[in-house]
């Protein structure tokens, strides 16, 4: 193929999209849906991984004390915790400080939850020295009289690990199945274009056009459809990412801190999705036009 033909071939590819605009639009819509589902699965998996690693890195546990315990008993209990060999720091966290953290979320209810009406108990924020002795230290703390519960984030980590495994497996199959679906959709769109242009292809073949020359406009058409779908789906994902993240943070407070901020992701989403769209388009277009040329496309119609 000569370089001088590239402008003509690109123009032909783009013209194909316009000439079959309804079919192209339908393909773009289905592709966008597939890419959004795939992208959402990938983003969920990435965020769950990030959560797990942040929990793993966090060596702080909360020790909740008996609600009825007096302040003096609480101080004594604190000194018992401090004596444990794996405890680095032990900071008292009063129920008044605790309720203050929920001031914004509680709104009008906050005022009615002061003093004796405060439903929360006193607690200690305990910093551990060695995470490998995490479990043993928690067991030792639990045995101290007056300790109601310990925030064992290891359980959350284990649950999240299971969730991550599930999301990864499901995500993998979602990517594979939707990848095949998108390939099928793009291939079908190109097949339609080829069918409507089979007469032109036949004339091209009769005057000596090479298969590469015949293929290129169809591949460009498929790549452009893929690119448009990739751009649209990434824009949609980028615009819904933060609202979804904030909603999740409102439901589970620690999520907000540990998820991946949009600033770190948008470039990857935009480039990744556009690239994936172009790649799937090129592959789908190439498969269908090659199959067509191998079968009936090499013949001169009706001769």
Partner 1 sequence: MIHLKNVSKIYSNGTEALKNISLDIEQGEFVFIVGASGAGKSTFLKLLIHEEKANFGKIKVNGYDLMKIRNRKIPYLRRTMGIVFQDFRLIDKMNVYDNIAFAMRAIGSPEKAIKKRVQYVIDMVGLKGKEKCRPNELSGGEQQRVSLARALVNNPEMIIADEPTGNIDPKMSFEIMKKLVEINKRGTTVIIVTHEHELVKEFGGRIIMINGGEIERDEKLPTKYHPADITDSEPSYSE
Instruction: Find the helix or strand (DSSP H, E) in which 238 lies.
Output: helix 211-251
Q: Rounded distance, CA 35 to CA 179, Å?
A: 9
Q: Which is nearer to partner 1, 18 or 112 (CB)?
A: 18
Examine residue 205 and tell whether it contacts partner 1 (CB under 8 A): yes
CB closer to partner 1, 171 vs 217: 217
Alpha-carbon span 231 to 274, nearest angstrom:
5
Confirm or reject binding of residue 247 to partner 1 (CB under 8 A).
no
* 207 near partner 1, judged by CB under 8 A: yes
User: Applying CB under 8 A, does 196 fall inside the site for partner 1?
Assistant: no
Instruction: Confirm or reject binding of residue 40 to partner 1 (CB under 8 A).
Output: no
Q: Distances from the Cα of 100 to the Cαs of 108, 110, 263, 301, in angstroms? A: 13, 8, 30, 81
d(CA 32, CA 26) in angstroms, rounded, equals 10
- Within 8 A by CB and 6+ apart from 269, the residues are 39, 43, 234, 237, 238, 241
Q: Does 303 bind partner 1 (CB under 8 A)?
A: yes
User: What tokens does 219 get?
Assistant: 């591949």
Q: Is 200 an interacting residue with respect to partner 1 (CB under 8 A)?
A: yes
Minimal distance, residue 46 CB to partner 1, in Å = 46
For residue 63, what are the β-bridge partners?
124, 150
Minimum distance between the CB of residue 24 and partner 1, rounded to whole angstroms?
18
Distance, in Å, from the CA atom of 163 to the CA atom of 89, rounded to the nearest integer, reads 32
User: Which of 1, 29, 106, 252: binder of partner 1 (CB under 8 A)?
Assistant: 1
Size of the site for partner 1 (CB under 8 A): 22
Say whether residue 109 binds partner 1 (CB under 8 A): no
Q: How far is the CB of 27 from partner 1 (least distance, A)?
A: 22
Residues that bind partner 1 (CB under 8 A): 1-2, 4-5, 8, 199-200, 202-211, 213, 299-300, 302-303
């Amino acid at each position: 193929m000569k370089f001088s033909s590239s402008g003509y071939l690109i123009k032909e590819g783009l013209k194909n999209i316009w000439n079959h605009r309804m079919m192209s639009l339908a393909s773009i819509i289905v592709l966008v849906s597939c890419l959004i589902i795939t992208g959402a699965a990938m983003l969920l998996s990435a965020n769950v991984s990030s959560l797990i690693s942040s929990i793993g890195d966090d060596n702080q546990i909360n020790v909740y004390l008996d609600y009825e315990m007096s302040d003096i008993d609480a101080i004594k209990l604190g000194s018992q915790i401090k004596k444990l060999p794996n405890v680095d720091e032990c900071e008292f966290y009063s129920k008044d400080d605790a309720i203050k953290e929920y001031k914004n979320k509680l709104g009008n209810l906050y005022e009615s939850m002061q003093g004796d009406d405060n439903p929360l108990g006193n607690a200690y924020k305990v910093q551990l020295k060695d995470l490998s002795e995490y479990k043993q230290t928690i067991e030792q703390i639990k045995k101290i009289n007056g300790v109601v519960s310990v925030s064992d984030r290891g359980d959350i980590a284990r649950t999240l690990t299971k969730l991550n495994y599930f999301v990864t497996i499901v995500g993998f199959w979602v990517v594979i199945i939707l990848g095949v679906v998108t390939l099928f959709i793009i291939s079908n769109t190109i097949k339609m274009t080829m069918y409507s242009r089979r007469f032109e292809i036949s004339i091209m073949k009769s005057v000596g056009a090479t298969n590469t020359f015949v293929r290129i406009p169809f591949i460009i058409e498929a790549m452009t459809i893929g690119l448009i779908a990739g751009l649209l789906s990434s824009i949609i994902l980028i615009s819904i990412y933060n609202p979804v993240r904030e909603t999740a943070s409102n439901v589970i407070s620690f999520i907000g801190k540990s998820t991946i901020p949009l600033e770190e992701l948008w470039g990857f989403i935009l480039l990744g999705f556009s690239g994936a769209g172009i790649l799937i388009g090129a592959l789908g277009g190439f498969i269908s036009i090659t199959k067509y040329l191998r079968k009936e496309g090499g013949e001169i119609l009706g001769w």
